[in-house]
Structure 1
């Protein structure tokens, strides 16, 4: 059996061998690092003492492959011609190599040597490019190009994209090689402006790299096709809200507002505008035949057209168009106008009928319809239009306040109120009074009178006048009079 003393004596030898093994493994150290083109990276000289504690005789050298970039001997550093002074530098305390404004060609093997130690770093470079320098108009589709370079065989990358709202975006690959990935993103909206992230992953070598990139989308905060309703002779303001201030779009662009009554008609230019690099908006009225105004007070970065008195034929599509570097984007507002008419025109006589017509300027969407109803009326006084009808007639025999509503998705968009007056009724009458035996006899043979029948105040005036007539008969014993009471 082996004695304890023998076992103990062997322990320092085993520890020494283990220690020498660790020193040997640390003398040649391999590291892996990634960088982004246009960015910067700091490569470490791992294990080196700080500058203040480094022995004077230590030689430190940085090499790119076999080419020496920088060397320090006896405390004096010097640079070779391969050391590009405007992009490479040394952080002296720990002899770190600092590289800025990275290029794809900077990928490769960088070695830091000091004494018997070597720290070998493999630098893997990614370059991300986006079409149009990241400046897009609404509805455009960006193209993204991702390139990589390395000293080792290029890995097969997995790419995941996230938009400015941190929503995952599925790219459409146009070209996929290990050196170059070309993908198309989704059609952009104004709300997509902001910082996007391209997430790059590889299992061997292990890479999890997030590459941010900026996207600016110039466009409208309005829906692409907005519908607005108005009644004849009302005031309407059509607004287009630009997002140029929110995204700090410092480049100038121009635009115009056009109107056409029908899709096939030629557009009629109402105004044009330009936005300077400082974000100042200037508008010029182009049409003198169309009755509209440009409001002076309005929200910032807003294009507005005011129609002070809407005509039925002012309906149609109003389009605001932006122009930037020969590209265009537009937003449309469809104006639907309602009018109401009566036949015959005038007060409604008792026992007579009248036809009320409610009409809008164009076909309605499937979820919209017209409704006639009498205010404070019954269910019998309600009539709805059929689908695809934009004209609704109702035959009435009752006076009062009638309303035509345009209803979309159970929501009343506009209402037009029409008051139907009741025609006056004329009746002739003659009052003859006689005194018989001290009693007064009054015979109503007829009268000439206008009776409202609907106004309490007019009934009261009529009663007062009848009382005055009776008093006159009492005082004069017998008389014949004629009254006209106007409605």
Structure 2
């Protein structure tokens, strides 16, 4: 059974279940008609609808019209190009034109409206005069054997948006709506912390109402915002990363994702509370480091001035301590970056202080002025010092005051005195105080090292030590005198004993002889010692004995 339909655009009825044979469709482009065969099930249905009792012609006409319109509704998306492709500016997309596999295709053409883009003659691709020198449009010959004649559009442009049509021989044309999207950010990267950012989705062609937009933050959390504009106020470090815009169209094969990466410029902030601690006479660095990616092509953001200021309070800038020379280009520090220099991302404005005194305490401000806005970072320098009154050596039962002084009152800060390696019974602490004094009635256990610590949330940020020393007691003095005198007496006794033992050993020696001072020979014996012509002057000390002396016969 053959049936020819003449299409009535804009007509749509409910769903009817018919079995069509797509292999026998035939499109007459000149007459705007489609001819095809209806399956056996379809014919049986139509025969049942025709009453054998002789229903009126009106009923049979209504059934035939209903059948034709349902077939038209099923084919409407193919004939009138209801395929939709979503593309991002700068990306590569494919406009589908899918035929039967191994079908011999000649004279296939791609049009945009009435303008010829590509022509396939069965052997090679020819480009229309409008895109003769545009290499972005092409067909992939490797996929033609599979019936894929989709047109490739590379480096998609806004002007590429519109309706395209793929026609060949006398078959049904493929019509594709191409939507091109652009995500516009204002202001552009890099962004200053505390600035406001607007992300706007721009659609070409404009005014399409079937699009559904969904926004997601860098943590991939749905923001429940369906507008084409997203506003991010008061940018912070948490806003850095990829922001995603998801675009859905009911007639598109897949959704489109467009990503915008937020890059910020600002100071590198330590994990601390913005306070820097130092001891008196110590050294400290006021850390001011600006994260700024140097690129010569960046024109939207330029540095105009930079410096470090010092004041006694947080509200004012105070006195200029350090000024940074900026190049005319405004993207680097003068003398540190040329046209071919490495692109450093961190610029250092830090200020070093040595031999810190209590007067150096206060607020330090790092200020950088850009062409769009200014950014600044406040840092508080906290100085700690300890003292003892009275100074010098302490006596037992005297009173002493240990004082720990902090230059600023810190919220949630604890100042604590402790005895190092001593008892914790005499420890003392105070919260949110600038001055903490520990008073002691001195005893022997108080001598040693005492420590003043500054703690915030249980963490020690700084500590200083003070030593207590006492004068010796009188009883202790006599004790040490006795010890020294006894030691000296023992030493003398030991020396005398050694000398006596040595002399006794010499007296009991064997017989020996020596020459007297005047040349007289003298002979000694262990038992009988006789000396001829002997005098005390003629005998040496080493030969002197207690026995008598006889002259020789």
Same fold (TM over 0.5): yes
Structure 2 equivalent of residue 271 of structure 1: 322
CA distance in 2, matches of 1:413, 1:274: 34
CA–CA separation in structure 2 for the residues paired with 1:48 and 1:89: 23
1-side partners of 2:229 and 2:130: how far apart?
33
Query: Is contact 1:160–1:200 with CA below 8 Å preserved after alignment?
Result: no
Q: Tell me, which stretches of 5 or more residues in structure 1 are unaligned?
A: 1-13, 285-298, 428-450, 473-487
Residue aligning to 2:382? 336
* Structure 2: segments with no counterpart, 5+ residues: 1-17, 28-35, 37-74, 337-344, 493-553
2:212 matched to 1:168? no
Counterpart residue number, 1:42: 94
What is the correspondence of 1:76-155 to structure 2 with a 5 Å cutoff?
A: 82-83=130-131, 85-86=133-134, 89-91=137-139, 93=141, 94=144, 96-117=150-171, 118-150=173-205, 153-155=208-210
- Alignment partners' CA distance in 1, 2:434 and 2:308: 27
What pairs up with 1:66-81 in 2 under 5 angstroms?
A: 66-71=114-119
Greater helix proportion: 2
Q: 1:197: Cα distance to partner?
A: 2.3
Aligned-partner Cα distance in 2 for 1:260–1:16: 86
Residue 366 of structure 2 is matched in structure 1 by 320
- Indicate the SS of the match to 2:263: strand
Distance in 2 (alpha carbons) for counterparts of 1:347 and 1:340: 17
Once the two structures are TM-superposed, the CA of residue 279 in structure 1 deviates from its matched residue by: 8.4
CA deviation string 1:455-475 (max 9, x = no partner): xxx964652147769999xxx
**Offset from partner CA, 1:11-32 (integer Å, 9 cap, x none):** xxx9995631498669847532
Shift of 1:364: 1.2
Say if 2:85 and 2:253, in contact at 8 Å, map to a contact too: no
Q: Which has the larger radius of gyration?
A: 2
Give the paired residue count: 402
**How big is the shift at 1:361?**
0.5
Contact 2:275–2:379, Cα closer than 8 Å, also in 1: yes
- Give the distance between the partners of 1:318 and 1:116, measured in 2 at CA: 80
Q: Which residue of 1 aligns with 2:8?
A: none
Moved more, 319-328 or 230-239: 319-328
Distance 1:200 1:462, change over 3 A: farther
Residue deviations 1:389-447, cap 9 Å, x none? 2111111222432211111112221111111221355x6xxxxxxxxxxxxxxxxxxxx
Are 2:285 and 1:237 aligned? yes
Per mean C-alpha deviation after superposition, the further-off stretch among 106-115 and 25-34 is: 25-34
TM-score using structure 1 length: 0.69
Does the C-alpha gap of structure 1 residues 98 and 422 become closer, same or farther in structure 2, counting only changes over 3 Å? same
Deviates more, 1:462-471 or 1:265-274: 462-471
Matches within 5 A, 1:78-477: 82-83=130-131, 85-86=133-134, 89-91=137-139, 93=141, 94=144, 96-117=150-171, 118-150=173-205, 153-163=208-218, 166-168=219-221, 170=223, 176=227, 181-185=228-232, 187-190=234-237, 192-203=239-250, 208-223=255-270, 225-244=273-292, 251=298, 253=303, 255-273=306-324, 301-365=347-411, 367-385=412-430, 387-398=431-442, 399-423=447-471, 460=480, 463-465=483-485
* Alpha-carbon distance in 2 for matches of 1:139, 1:356: 46
What is the DSSP-based 3-state SS (H/G/I as helix, E as strand, rest coil) of the residue aligned with 1:133? coil
Aligned partner of 1:288 in structure 2 is none
> Residue 48 of structure 2 corresponds to which residue in structure 1?
none
Distance 1:349 1:64, change over 3 A: same
Normalised by the length of structure 2, the TM-score is 0.62
Shift of 1:194: 4.4
Mapped partners of 1:319, 1:459: distance in 2: 62
Deviates more, 1:321-330 or 1:93-102: 93-102
d(CA) in 2 for partners of 1:126, 1:44? 19
SS at 1:351 equivalent: coil
Alpha carbons of structure 1 residues 320 and 31: separation in structure 2 relative to 1, 3 Å:
same
Q: Does the 8 Å CA contact 1:352/1:397 hold for their aligned counterparts?
A: yes
The 8 Å contact of residues 88 and 182 in structure 2, kept in 1 or not, is answered as yes
Cα shift at 1:154? 2.1
**Matches of 1:388 and 1:19 in 2, distance apart?**
88
Distance 1:40-1:15 versus aligned 2 partners, 3 A rule: closer
For residues 204 and 46 of structure 1, what CA distance do their matches in structure 2 show? 16
Q: 1:97 to 1:424 in 2, by over 3 A?
A: same
Is the 8 Å Cα contact of residues 171 and 186 (structure 1) preserved in structure 2? no
259-268 or 211-220, which deviates more: 259-268
- Does the alignment pair 1:19 with 2:4? no
Whether contact under 8 Å (1:88, 1:97) holds in the other structure is no
